[in-house]
Chains A and B, each alone.
Chain A
Amino acid sequence: MRRVGAASLVFGPALLAGCSSMPLSYLDADSPIGGRLAQLGWGLLGISVLVVVIIAVLLVGAVARGRSSPDGDALAVRRDAGGMRWIYIGVSISTVALIASVIWTLLTLKAVAEPAKAAPMTIEIRARQWWWDAIYRAPRPDLQFSTANEIHIPVGVPVRIELRSDDVIHSFWVPKLAGKTDVIPGQANRMWIEATKPGIYRGQCAEYCGVEHALMSFRVVADPLPEFTAWRARQLRGMQVRDGVAAAGSRVFAEHCSACHAIHGTGFGGAYGPDLTNLGERRTLAAGVLDNNPDNLRRWIEHAQEVKPGARMPDVPLPPNEVGPLVAYLEGR
């Protein structure tokens, strides 16, 4: 957290009171892009705070100076002379600072444009009202898979992100990894991200996209390469239909859920809602709104409109002997 001095002094305590508890804070990012942007951010913040302090001091000084000179007629008008030096000096200094900031900005733009080494993998993100579809592109169709709302990436590897939307404009934002890039229908925007440390990075839609824009979040999970590879293998294998309760749950899924949701390895191929393959492994439900546990999953299934009013997921009232197995099936228990 040792960055630019002046800004840290003023903003530091407030901003950094708990870095770990600020999942969307981007001033303490240390990924290749996020770190570079944070550096620029602290610099600009430092200049800004300095300017405000200087002007505030001058302003208070000017007012105090006037207050202490009650000589003569209070309403006498002074002659129109002097003062231009303020403009010459003030504007000159401002201009130098502004031009320096332009240069710093342009250098940063150049620095984050491309990763240092070529990105070996591409994830296509399809933003939907109000969740995130992630398609892991592969040269062979049998190596390609989808997941939703929780995007796994390998640590230390730049990952290319291709952003597409079939409905309205969204914006893909993982503050600790990179700045925002809008997801615009009719065009494919490209960006890249790279995590230097393993961790769970919170993401959020940053362009107003309708009633549940507020609750359209996601997670990027950066795993060490071996773990990432194992995760990918599990995604490719899909979900195994087992005996017992899970099999009963699978039948409920077929009846009530499969029109919209897909599960890899089962033949359920609904494309309207998020892919639910290995849902039990994910940290959250409903685009990052609820912690993933059986109680919350049950609540989401039965009362989606209460959790996220206006979401495309309807309330699905199921008898207890169906919802139990369904939750067990989806959670892989």
Chain B
Amino acid sequence: MATIAPERLPAAEREKLTATWETAPGLFGWFASVDHKQIGIRYLVTSIVFLLLGGVEALVMRVQLAQPMQRLLGPEQYDQLFSLHGVTMIFLYALPVLSGFSNYLWPLMLGSRDMAFPRLNALSYWLYLFSGLFLYVGLPLGQAPNGGWFNYVPYTNRQYDPGMNIDIYTLGLIFLGISTVVGSANFVVTLLRTRAPGMSINRMPILVWGTFTASAANLLAVPAVSLACFMLWLDRSFGTHFFDVEGHGHPLLWQHLFWAFGHPWVYALVLPSMGIVSDGLPVFCRRPLVGYTAVALATVTTMVIGFSVWVHHMFATGLPAMAISFFSAASIIIAIPSAISVFAWIATIWTGRPVFKTPFLFFAGFILLFVIGGVSGFMTASAAFDWQLTDTYFVVAHLHYVLLGINLFPVMGGIYYWFPKMSGRMMDERLGRWSFWTMFVGFNLAFFPMHIVGLEGMPRRIYTYPAELGVGGWNLLITVGAFLFAAGILMVLVNVLVSLSRGAEAGPNPWDAGTLEWSVSSPPPPQNFDIIPIVASRHPLWEDRLEDVDERSQLGRGYLLDRGRETIGTTPMDAEPNVILRMPGDSLLPLLLAIAVTFLFAGLLGHWWIVSGIAFAGVLAVLIAWFAPQPPVGDEKARLYA
């Protein structure tokens, strides 16, 4: 059974733990690793690669739009680019990058040795990678999705869009949805079961609240879009009539299903990154976050209301005024919890003593972008005025302030903030400031004028526009801004690459932060914690310096759990230890399962039913191996097998 470890762990004991938790070396280890830190970094790297791909697509489009009536791209090329840009940024960058942070950080923040289901974690990464490649397979063939990321029927019915474009989209999203759902389930269970003793829910970092809320929402939202895509695939492949008017199907059904997913999803893209700010900003203000409880509850409230606002994407579809009024009111009121967070952040800076490091610049700059994106959202939430705003560049401005301002800026700040933990080295501060100011200026140059051209009536999703609209000058400015912004992002990446080898040694806690992940070495050892800590407050590393904290967390005493891969399981609310969780080691099963699923979807795409049949048999075979019972170890009575 578990033993309470002595204050200082003997070196031999630590080596034993490290050996137990270490991923095997070489290629096998690379493919079989279930270490949440490796998986987290893979998520981050892959999603940033997709960010760059989506960014290049955007720049090509901006060149096309720099002046009226240009012919760099044909309409079909443009349509594929804007569709792929949306799909890439929304599905393959914005959520996965946050999953990367959360995968890496959660166990470290929560005082655990891994996520609740390490193999599921690896599976969700491989599925993400393969579904991302699947969605891109059409690009070199000139068959990339071309119905927009929203993919409205009937334009995407086979009658109007006969190519493989939309089949790739529908199957790709179902495919990616599996990754999202297993990842989300893992986060939910990890939160509920694998926090360190004493890490009650009112002591969790806000990032954890954000990712938990987003994950719970994904479990409810993703099935809607998977179902919609499956129905559309049936319509296209077998002539069913879910969305086909001539067969008494209804096009608006797609919109309801899509946005019932889509709107909760956009909150899932921002709540974790707002959590990054809520956790990171206070460290650079040298005080705890103002209004922790309010911000945590605002996070959850936003998501709950977020499930009842989807119709604001459909104000112009001719729905009854009564329905529109309700959804309009809900969409305006949802700004209240956001206001709570904004004032909490400002109060934290105001009553703190800010330290002007690069992460602080990104987090503070984010607040302004958040508010601009918020008020433009408030304007579009007003159903009557949205009849003018919708489908103009005003909405393009809004969604980029939201998705870049609220997702990308915190992500970049988060990279500067946690890079030392992940790599053991500091990023360059000077280049860091340059990258922030380049990004900030470029971003506003690129996206602020979009509000103006939108108010002047420039419609969205157009491959060109006539000179009479009078928006050519603004568009040139937008294009220049976009390139400047891209240069800023490149500076961050250069900084990352250079700092990996040349950065100064970071040590365990370079920012003097207060949360658990900073109590271990940088980078952390494979087992994360030699001893599972016992947590007594929100800021275990600041307890001596905060006046109103009486209890003391124990970082050097706690559960040792050294008989194989073990971590502690605790109760959902108060985090009282009640079970020892036995964790799986390196495994090729996640990769094999993901490969089998990939062949399954490839078969469905090509209507090669035999391939799909064999792949499905493969899926079942891997699942049988996955769930094969393992012999109990030792004399423990209660053990969970993950």
Residues on A lying within 8 angstroms of B by beta carbon are 11, 14-15, 18, 21-27, 36-37, 40-41, 44-45, 47-49, 51-52, 55-56, 58-59, 61-63, 65-67, 69, 74-87, 89-91, 94-95, 98-99, 101-102, 104-106, 108-110, 112-113, 129, 163, 167-169, 171, 173, 175, 178-182, 184-187, 189-190, 202, 204-215, 217, 289, 309-310
Please determine whether A15 and B76 come into contact, CB atoms closer than 8 angstroms: no
- The interface residues of chain A lying within 8 Å CB-to-CB of B384 are 36-37, 40, 105, 108-109, 112, 179
Q: In the complex, what residue of chain B is closest to A172 when comparing beta carbons?
A: B316
- The interface residues of chain A lying within 8 Å CB-to-CB of B342 are 55, 90
Please determine whether B466 and A289 come into contact, CB atoms closer than 8 angstroms: yes
- The interface residues of chain A lying within 8 Å CB-to-CB of B388 are 26, 37, 41, 175, 179-180
Please determine whether B385 and A63 come into contact, CB atoms closer than 8 angstroms: no
Given known contacts A40-B385, A90-B342, is B546 in contact with A80 (CB within 8 Å)? yes
Given known contacts A87-B340, A91-B343, is B385 in contact with A44 (CB within 8 Å)? yes
- Selected from A83, A179, A212, the residue in CB contact (under 8 A) with B351 is A83
Q: Given the complex of chains A and B, what is the CA–CA distance between A76 and B347 in angstroms?
A: 18
- Selected from A48, A49, A76, the residue in CB contact (under 8 A) with B545 is A76
Tell me if B324 is interfacial: C-beta within 8 Å of chain A: yes
**Chain B 378-399 per-residue mask, 1 if CB under 8 angstroms from chain A, else 0:** 1100111111111110000000
- The interface residues of chain A lying within 8 Å CB-to-CB of B563 are none
Please determine whether A101 and B353 come into contact, CB atoms closer than 8 angstroms: no
Q: Given the complex of chains A and B, what is the CA–CA distance between A76 and B283 in angstroms?
A: 11
Shortest distance in angstroms between B546's beta carbon and chain A's nearest beta carbon? 6
Please determine whether A24 and B458 come into contact, CB atoms closer than 8 angstroms: yes
- The interface residues of chain B lying within 8 Å CB-to-CB of A63 are 349, 354, 364
Contacts of B465-513 to chain A: CB distance below 8 A: 465-466, 468-470, 512
Given known contacts A91-B339, A309-B75, is B316 in contact with A179 (CB within 8 Å)? yes
Q: In the complex, what residue of chain B is closest to A58 when comparing beta carbons?
A: B346
- Selected from B76, B328, B372, the residue in CB contact (under 8 A) with A211 is B76
- The interface residues of chain A lying within 8 Å CB-to-CB of B335 are 94, 98
Q: Given the complex of chains A and B, what is the CA–CA distance between A28 and B375 in angstroms?
A: 21
Tell me if B356 is interfacial: C-beta within 8 Å of chain A: yes
- The interface residues of chain B lying within 8 Å CB-to-CB of A167 are 154, 160
Please determine whether B346 and A69 come into contact, CB atoms closer than 8 angstroms: no
Known pairs A15-B452, A23-B468, A84-B294 / 7 extra A-B pairs, C-beta < 8 Å: A41-B389, A48-B376, A87-B344, A101-B382, A105-B329, A105-B332, A185-B154
Please determine whether B324 and A109 come into contact, CB atoms closer than 8 angstroms: yes
Q: Given the complex of chains A and B, what is the CA–CA distance between A225 and B316 in angstroms?
A: 30
Q: In the complex, what residue of chain A is closest to B374 when comparing beta carbons?
A: A51
Please determine whether A214 and B464 come into contact, CB atoms closer than 8 angstroms: yes
Please determine whether B462 and A213 come into contact, CB atoms closer than 8 angstroms: yes
Please determine whether A101 and B378 come into contact, CB atoms closer than 8 angstroms: yes
Q: Given the complex of chains A and B, what is the CA–CA distance between A99 and B339 in angstroms?
A: 14
Tell me if B245 is interfacial: C-beta within 8 Å of chain A: yes
- The interface residues of chain A lying within 8 Å CB-to-CB of B290 are 82-84, 86-87
Please determine whether A180 and B286 come into contact, CB atoms closer than 8 angstroms: no
Please determine whether B457 and A22 come into contact, CB atoms closer than 8 angstroms: yes
Q: Given the complex of chains A and B, what is the CA–CA distance between A116 and B306 in angstroms?
A: 36
Given known contacts A11-B455, A44-B378, is B371 in contact with A208 (CB within 8 Å)? no
- Selected from A69, A171, A206, A208, the residue in CB contact (under 8 A) with B155 is A208
Shortest distance in angstroms between B289's beta carbon and chain A's nearest beta carbon? 9
Please determine whether B316 and A171 come into contact, CB atoms closer than 8 angstroms: yes
Residues on B lying within 8 angstroms of A by beta carbon are 74-76, 79, 147-148, 152, 154-155, 160, 245, 249-252, 285-288, 290-291, 294, 316-318, 321, 324-325, 328-329, 332-333, 335-336, 339-340, 342-344, 346-356, 364, 367-368, 371-372, 375-376, 378-379, 382-392, 452, 455-466, 468-470, 512, 514, 542, 545-549
Q: Given the complex of chains A and B, what is the CA–CA distance between A82 and B387 in angstroms?
A: 43
- The interface residues of chain B lying within 8 Å CB-to-CB of A104 are 382
Which 7 pairs of residues, A with B, have the shortest CB-CB distance?
A179-B387, A24-B457, A83-B290, A214-B462, A86-B347, A48-B375, A90-B343
Please determine whether A98 and B333 come into contact, CB atoms closer than 8 angstroms: yes
Please determine whether A75 and B347 come into contact, CB atoms closer than 8 angstroms: no
Cross-chain pairs A/B with CB under 8 angstroms, 21 sampled = A23-B468, A23-B470, A24-B459, A27-B455, A44-B382, A59-B368, A79-B547, A86-B346, A90-B339, A90-B343, A109-B328, A168-B152, A168-B155, A171-B391, A178-B387, A180-B316, A184-B252, A185-B245, A208-B460, A211-B75, A214-B465
Shortest distance in angstroms between B385's beta carbon and chain A's nearest beta carbon? 5
- The interface residues of chain A lying within 8 Å CB-to-CB of B464 are 214-215
- The interface residues of chain B lying within 8 Å CB-to-CB of A189 are 317-318
Shortest distance in angstroms between B325's beta carbon and chain A's nearest beta carbon? 5
- The interface residues of chain B lying within 8 Å CB-to-CB of A187 are 252, 318
Please determine whether B251 and A184 come into contact, CB atoms closer than 8 angstroms: yes
Q: Given the complex of chains A and B, what is the CA–CA distance between A79 and B371 in angstroms?
A: 28
- The interface residues of chain A lying within 8 Å CB-to-CB of B514 are 77
Please determine whether B368 and A41 come into contact, CB atoms closer than 8 angstroms: no
